[in-house]
């Protein structure tokens, strides 16, 4: 029998992910706070639902892609939530980036209902979601991961079972440390070179051929050079992740001085009204300090 899949959270990432599941042939039931995205999926053949409870009552597997820990807790455990519509044998896959401790807590609440859980946050941004090329890092029991794998294969290219529930979330937070520090370093370096009179386009070309190259430099250089900071992943969301990292680091006793520094830079971006920028827009923090714009210096 065909697996019936529920998808809750049709935002920048969730909508293209749900579309890819429809394209892969899964029977879909979808829910979102705003109706427009639901209607868009319904036009492709998905069935609309009025609440997470209504989604859960109709499907075998439930996927959530939500902004933060409280959102997942509310959708999973709150009024008209997944728990109220759940039944034994269902699988709940949370693909949001949240505090892994919250993932573990939600799983404990759902377990008496016979619902298994996998935490499977993703990396790759909006483009990766659209292209079904996400990196998926999953935590959960091996049999639950295997059950989720056909869905993951419709969404991503790099799919890794990290270990028990929560390890997917901790891996994603580690990813966000690297990405945040990398983008901040790229911004600082390009402004430094541009201020010294170096052509930023040539600088990126040169840096891309050496040890300073990175996926961030490859994927974000065009946005940086054009000054187009329409969000693939917002500063606001990365700042949220940095806060999660701060809390998670305290829970495991890890020191994160560089992530803490980047958190403050991103806080300054938000205070300056730039929280809606793509996270590559962190370069504007350094442009302001140096009183130069990389995109206009070419």
pLDDT tens, 45-104?
999 999 999 999 999 999 999 999 999 999 999 999 999 999 999 999 999 999 999 999
Mean pLDDT of 22-30: 97
Mean pLDDT of 194-219: 96
> What angle in degrees, to the nearest 10, is found between the helix axes of 283-290 and 167-195?
30
Token pair for 193: 């070179």
4-164 folds as Rossmann fold (3.40.50)
pLDDT of 1 above 70: no
Confidence of residue 20 (pLDDT cuts 50, 70, 90): very high
Express each pLDDT in 135-183 by its tens digit: 999 999 999 999 999 999 999 999 999 999 999 999 999 999 999 999 9
Which class would CATH give 170-296?
mainly alpha
SS (H, E, C) the chain: CCCEEEEECCCCCHHHHHHHHHHCCCEEEEECCCHHHHHHHHCCCCEECCCHHHHHCCCCEEEECCCCHHHHHHHHHCCCCHHHHCCCCCEEEECCCCCHHHHHHHHHHHHHHCCEEEECCEECHHHHHHCCCEEEEEECCHHHHHHHHHHHHCCEEEEEEEECCCHHHHHHHHHHHHHHHHHHHHHHHHHHHHHCCCCHHHHHHHHHCCCCCCHHHHHHHHHHHHCCCCCCCEHHHHHHHHHHHHHHHHHHCCCCHHHHHHHHHHHHHHHCCCCCCEHHHHHHHHHHHHCCCHHHCC
- What pairing do the DSSP bridges indicate for beta strands 91-94 and 4-8? unpaired
Mean pLDDT of 108-129: 95
What does the alpha-carbon distance between residue 38 and residue 280 come to, in Å, rounded to a whole number? 29
Domain spans, the chain: 4-164, 170-296
Return the pLDDT at 172. 97
Report the catalytic residues: 172
Rounded percentage of the chain residues whose pLDDT exceeds 70: 99
């Amino acid at each position: 029998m065909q697996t019936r899949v529920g998808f809750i959270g049709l935002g920048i990432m969730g909508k293209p992910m749900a579309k890819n599941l429809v394209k892969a042939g899964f029977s879909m039931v979808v829910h979102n706070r705003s109706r427009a995205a639901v209607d868009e999926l319904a036009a492709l053949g998905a069935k609309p639902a009025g609440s997470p409870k209504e989604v859960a009552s109709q499907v075998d597997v439930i996927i959530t892609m939500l902004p933060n820990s409280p959102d997942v807790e509310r959708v999973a455990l709150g009024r008209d939530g997944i728990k109220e519509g759940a039944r034994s044998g269902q699988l709940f896959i949370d693909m949001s980036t949240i505090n892994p401790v919250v993932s573990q807590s939600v799983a404990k609440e759902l377990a008496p209902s016979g619902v298994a859980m996998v935490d499977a946050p993703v990396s790759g941004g909006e483009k990766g979601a659209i292209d079904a090329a996400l990196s998926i890092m999953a935590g959960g029991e091996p049999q639950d991961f295997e059950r989720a794998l056909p869905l993951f294969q419709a969404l991503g290219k790099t799919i890794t079972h990290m270990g028990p529930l929560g390890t997917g979330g901790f891996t994603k937070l580690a990813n966000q440390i690297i990405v945040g520090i990398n983008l901040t370093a790229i911004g600082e370096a390009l402004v430094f070179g541009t201020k010294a009179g170096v052509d930023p386009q040539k600088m990126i070309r040169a840096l891309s051929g050496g040890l300073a190259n990175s996926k961030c430099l490859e994927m974000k250089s065009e946005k940086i050079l054009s000054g187009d900071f329409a969000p693939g992943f917002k500063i606001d969301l990365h700042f949220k992740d940095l806060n999660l990292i701060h809390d998670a680091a305290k829970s495991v006793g890890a020191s994160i001085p560089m992530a803490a520094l980047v958190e403050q830079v991103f806080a300054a971006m938000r205070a300056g009204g730039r929280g809606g920028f793509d996270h590559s827009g962190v370069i504007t923090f350094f442009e302001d300090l140096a009183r130069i714009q990389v995109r206009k210096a070419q």
